[in-house]
Chains A and B, each alone.
Chain A
């Protein structure tokens, strides 16, 4: 990994509350089709921000724009205070890590090598790299298949390996596109706990989620997207209201406190009696 020259320096540690990325009046087009119409979202250090909304609302597009993958048609994306387009690929790689929606690999690299790819942006010593890789693999519970080829893993295992690679990159801004989609119950919880841990350690975490219950339980802030605009942005307890969610998803939704803990529970309102 020493061949990736020139090696930019990693950014200084962020203070809690610093804005590590932000979209300001962002318009993005995919081909001729406008997908985002004036989205403004700040992403702060020490915070887990969940992006939720129905299919096609622009969640993944917003995440890609924050990752500096997509150009802004209007407005601006800033990463660590500078317009995203001003950074080189190498500088960006030290500032943000991205988990794509589906993990693919053209050649059957062993799992450990895949995770180690996350160290590519760093000019760190092999010992440091080993430590980061081992920690990331332990955190995502993939250490047991370190030597298996990636192609021989199940969908959920691949997703965790991809996440381990992203964690090994140790960037202060984490952008995760549906990290829980392929995972079982236990690993869904594990992944979101990891997000909270990273936030507590001072990183900013943006995560696209479909499970509103998970978002309510783990996110500090939720941005609800609807048709390319932000319908609401705030703590889950404030923005997850039955009226708003039912309207955004075009599906009756119930929001109720957990009978024991009082935490927020979100469930679609089902009336199975009508089918009898």
Chain B
């Protein structure tokens, strides 16, 4: 965003507060995103192998909420409420988690290239999830995979953070290289788990790794919900302090931010959100990278807008991507993770080129 904007309309030197116009852009954008979500949800619920008209979808929702409406025939009700809605809710939760985690991570690292997938946190969480599946651990019921993913994801964020920082800042090269190292190591550990797993577990893991929502059920939604809801609720409270952190750690402290505590809380939140996403749907990369970037370009880098809006746009993007993944090659399904990576990687290329150009090289 180095485009030079027009200078302020002849600002006078007496102390008149300059006009503020950013908030209107961000408010419009937030409203737009919310409306788009409200439209896309019934549309996505209607599309599929057994089409349900949007009007019927709305009627059924109304009926379930006890606000009038009509009950549909048994097949339609079952398709909607046992297949499509759990999948849609899961897509929304995971998309929101990934978008929000990306925005937070970029803020904490002070680096626009940070993303759970790129720097290896997703694969770290995946190690826990795969371990739980492969070893057949389930002493925590449906939450087992999520909890394992959270613990290993948290350990990975802490590791990456400690390894890629020096002198209070994170250099792009160090961050990306740390990500490569972490991804390689996690890949090896996952391979090891696969080697020792039985055939059924291998099949489950392979499918899960590609990133798909096709196995969505209400219990899975419940497994993700606590992590995602907690993370999404806490994240916006730290938006203002993330703005100040952009000045650097010491200046943020000079402005009254308890930087140590801020960092610990946010790393926990990032691990929660990443674990929520990874534990059900494998590694869905680049959503956390692309979403905050687009929003920053549209309405500036203020985190009070960026954090909630990233959750909204993330949810929207993932819902749309999931809709595409199950309709493009119908009746077959493209794995969602493959689709987001196909679309996201070129964006990452472009971002790398731009960042490099701007700072005139890496070294």
A interface with B by C-beta (< 8 Å): 1, 3-4, 67, 69, 88-90, 92-94, 96-98, 100, 103-110, 112-114, 117-118, 120-121, 127, 130-131, 133-135, 137-138, 143-149, 151-152, 165, 169
Contact = CB atoms under 8 A, between A and B. Distances in A.
Given A110-B300, A120-B256, A165-B247, 5 more contacts: A100-B251, A106-B248, A114-B247, A145-B8, A152-B4
A106 B4 contact: no
Contacts of B15: 131, 134-135, 138
B13 interface: yes
B268 interface: no
B302 interface: yes
Nearest to B301: A107
Nearest to A115: B18
Closest 10 CB pairs of A and B: A93-B256, A130-B17, A106-B110, A107-B301, A143-B11, A90-B256, A121-B256, A134-B15, A106-B246, A98-B254
A67 B258 CA distance: 15
B11 A144 contact: yes
A106 B255 contact: no
Interface string B12-31: 01111110111000000000
A4 B261 CA distance: 13
B8 A120 contact: no
A89 B256 contact: yes
B166 interface: no
Nearest to A93: B256
A149 B299 CA distance: 12
A69 B18 contact: no
B1 interface: yes
B257 interface: yes
Contacts, number: 125
B214 interface: no
The secondary structure that dominates the B interface is loop
Interface of B: 1-8, 11, 13-18, 20-22, 110-112, 169, 237, 239-241, 243-248, 250-251, 253-259, 296, 300-302
B272 to A, nearest CB: 20
Contacts of A148: 4-5, 7
B4, B20, B255: most-surrounded residue (chain A CB, <10 A) = B255
Contacts of A135: 15
B244 A120 contact: yes
B14 A138 contact: yes
Contact of B2 (A109, A146, A152, A169): A152
Contacts of A106: 110-112, 245-246, 248
B305 to A, nearest CB: 11
A221 B23 CA distance: 45
A98 B251 contact: yes
A222 B119 CA distance: 49
B255 A93 contact: yes
Contact of B244 (A90, A96, A117, A143): A117
A127 B243 CA distance: 21
6 contacts: A4-B240, A89-B258, A104-B248, A110-B22, A121-B255, A134-B16
B278 to A, nearest CB: 26
B14 A113 contact: no
Given A100-B251, A143-B8, A144-B7, A149 B256 contact: no
Nearest to A107: B301
A139 to B, nearest CB: 9
A153 to B, nearest CB: 10
B112 A169 contact: no
Contacts of A4: 240-241, 256-257
Contacts of A67: 254
A169 B255 contact: yes
Given A67-B254, A110-B300, A144 B8 contact: yes
Contact of A151 (B1, B110, B237, B239): B1
A147 B8 contact: yes
